[in-house]
Amino acid sequence: MALIRVFPILFFLVFFFGINLAYAQITSFSANPASIQSGQVTTYLWSSENLGGIKLVFPCVSGIKYYYESGAPLACGSTILDLATNGAYSVSAANLSLSGASVEVKAVPKTAEGIYDESAPSYAPLTIYPVSAIITEFTSNTDTVVSGNDAVFSWNSQYITGVNFNFSCAENVKIFYAGSEVPCGQIAFGTNLAAQSQISVSFSNISQSKKTISVTVIPAMDDGTYDATRSKSVTLVVEPPPPKIPKVYVYSPSLVALSSGETTVISWGGIYISGVNMNITCAYGITASSSADPSQTLPCGTYAFSENLPATSTHALSFKNTVSGIVRVSLKIIPFLENNTYDATLAKEILIDVSRETPPEPVTAPSEPIAEETSNTVSPSESVESQSQTTEVLQPASAPKQEPTPSAQSESSQDVLRGTETNTKPVSKPPENTAADNVNDGTENGSDGIEDGFTYTFVGPLHYGLIHDGDVKALQKILTLEGVYAGAIDGDYFGETQEAVIRFQKKHGLSPLGIVDHDTREKLNELYGSNQPAADMNGVSSEGNSSSGTASDTPRQKNIFIRWGESFISFLRALFSFF
């Protein structure tokens, strides 16, 4: 009887739990879509009955990578827990192998009691096609690089964590990265580079021709291999180094004026040379010495130093002049090349004017007064006598012009020689005021005492080295009025006056030669000359106009022969100044 009573209870329990066990299961599980390209998203869908939830497990398959819907990496073998009994979950996947691959994601049911039943999983197959491009971008900042320079390579990739490089080999080409030489024809770096980055690589080509190389970036795979089939390359031309052209630069002035015994410092620099030497032209009465050994006279007309001077340096030289006047010498700086030869074609020249410390005593004019002329012409004998009294004008080319002691007689004798006076006055009856009075004696600077209406007509060239010259005084006065000269009005044509002439020439669009040539004289006469015949060099006018350096109209005109002789003498003076 007891058994009969227990049997219905056992039957009920078995029937009840059997029904529950039959319905506690995953009823469906699939991937949608079931086939994707690498990088695409698929969604896993499932439904279940009488479960407490499910979990998803993503298997590890070679070359397959999973990513959360956000794009973050999802490691293989990862488990997504505590998902709903009915739901969906989206992931993306990439296949880095060379062929299509299938994976089966597992869904494990969770009982009502919270236990995952590994004995009753469900699987959803997914086919993933291989990635077509792992390196998405690879560029170089240039397609041609000169030997010794750098090229910058930039790249981007996907689905990998690193890359490496391969440089093709070319004869006489070397590759450097971070100061170290990089091998060619193989994996270049011992440590992989980042998946997205850039590097600067230096190339050396010691040949004389262009070389072409291929630069390849290769994906580094997770298994330690490199996938050269999905690499990217650029071509680079490596040019030989540019030719080394030796040059010499001189930092000293191209024209130097020295007194005898003075020292000048020569400064120079050079590239692609081993040193320099100097060559000083030979000139009568001129000697040169070096600061290294002042007692030793340097040779002229050949290399001045037995040992070359540095490629970039300075050196002090002293010059002495034992003859009258100014003597110009040429100093050339000649480069000594890296092939141990001199190249005179690349030499740089400095001109040096050397004057005596104490000029010779000037030749004075006769002390007798000049008699008043009674005719309108000058006889040939008078012209010869006038020229003989002023023979110091025809000094050697290098000598400065010496003037007689300032006096009415000496000035008159020079005025006759220059052919600028058209009406000779007796010495005993000087004009009340002359243009020479307006040209000060060297004690004035600036424009003080100079009238704005000053005029003067020039008839001959003026040049560097003239001393106590009336024309130069007038020139200095005009340069002062022009605002280009602030020195003494002393009739001496040296550096300060020469620079003022250059400034005047630049101001009026003339060639900046530093001498009063034909064009400059024309401009001076256009601006400051009168329509009257030219005055004497000291600016004496027949009417004593204190603001004019030209003579007024007079019935007396110079003999044509005297004019020719004076012009010829002016030509000789200009010619001598250039030698």
Residue 556 tokens read as 């007396």
Measure Cα distances from 282 to 303, 308, 548 in Å: 12, 20, 46
Residue 141: φ, ψ to 5°: -75, -5
Write down the H helix ranges in 403-534.
408-418, 435-438, 470-481, 495-507, 518-528
Contact 332, 374 (CB under 8 A): no
Q: What is the pLDDT of residues 306-321, one digit of tens each?
A: 999 999 999 999 999 9
Q: Where in the chain is the domain with CATH 2.60.40.10?
A: 135-239
Q: How many Cα atoms are found within 13 Å in the side-chain-facing hemisphere of 158?
A: 17
Q: What is the pLDDT of residues 441-489, one digit of tens each?
A: 444 454 555 666 789 999 989 999 899 899 999 999 999 999 999 999 9
CA distance 138 to 157: 9
Q: Where in the chain is the domain with CATH 2.60.40.1280?
A: 24-128
Q: Where in the chain is the domain with CATH 2.60.40.2410?
A: 247-355
The model carries a pTM of 0.46
Write down the CATH number for the domain with range 247-355: 2.60.40.2410
Measure Cα distances from 105 to 93, 185, 568 in Å: 12, 43, 116
Sheet holding 73-74, edge to edge: 25-32, 41-49, 87-95, 64-68, 73-74
Q: What is the pLDDT of residues 358-373, one digit of tens each?
A: 544 554 444 444 444 4
| Homologous superfamily in CATH for domain 135-239 | Immunoglobulins (2.60.40.10)
* β-bridge mates for residue 548, sequence order: 455
CA 356 to chain centre: 42
Which pLDDT score, from 0 to 100, does residue 492 have? 94
The beta-carbon contacts of 544-548 under 8 Å, at least 24 apart in sequence, are: 544/431, 544/432, 544/433, 544/434, 545/433, 545/435, 546/433, 546/434, 546/435, 546/437, 546/438, 546/451, 547/435, 547/438, 547/451, 547/453, 547/454, 547/455, 548/435, 548/453, 548/454, 548/455, 548/456
- Does residue 40 register a pLDDT over 60? yes
- Specify the DSSP class assigned to residue 198: E
Q: What is the pLDDT of residues 509-566, one digit of tens each?
A: 999 989 999 999 999 999 998 755 444 434 333 333 333 443 333 333 344 444 456 5
CA distance 90 to 79: 14
- Does residue 57 register a pLDDT over 80? yes
Residue 308: φ, ψ to 5°: -65, 150
Q: What is the mean pLDDT of the chain?
A: 79
Q: What is the DSSP annotation of 381-425?
A: HHHHHHHHTTGGGG--TTSPBP-PPSSHHHHHHHHHHHT--SSPP
Contact 222, 214 (CB under 8 A): no
Contact 128, 101 (CB under 8 A): yes
CA 319 to chain centre: 36
**4-8, 397-401, 491-495: which range is least confident on average?**
397-401
573 pLDDT tier (thresholds 50, 70, 90): low
pLDDT (mean) for 243-261: 90
Q: Where in the chain is the domain with CATH 1.10.101.10?
A: 380-577
Write down the H helix ranges in 419-494.
435-438, 470-481
Q: E strand or H helix at 258, and its extent?
A: strand 255-259
**Which positions ≥6 away from 418 have C-beta within 8 Å?**
459, 460, 471, 536, 537, 566, 569, 570
Which pLDDT score, from 0 to 100, does residue 303 have? 96
Contact 307, 290 (CB under 8 A): no
Residue 285 identity (one-letter amino acid): G
Q: What is the pLDDT of residues 127-162, one digit of tens each?
A: 999 998 999 999 999 999 999 999 999 999 999 999
Measure Cα distances from 458 to 4, 103, 180, 523 in Å: 159, 108, 75, 10
**Which architecture, in CATH terms, is 24-128?**
Sandwich (2.60)
Q: Domain 380-577 falls in which CATH fold? A: Muramoyl-pentapeptide Carboxypeptidase; domain 1 (1.10.101)
Measure Cα distances from 556 to 406, 423, 431, 536 in Å: 26, 6, 17, 14
- Does residue 220 register a pLDDT over 80? yes
Could you tell me which residue, 389 or 503, shows the higher pLDDT? 503
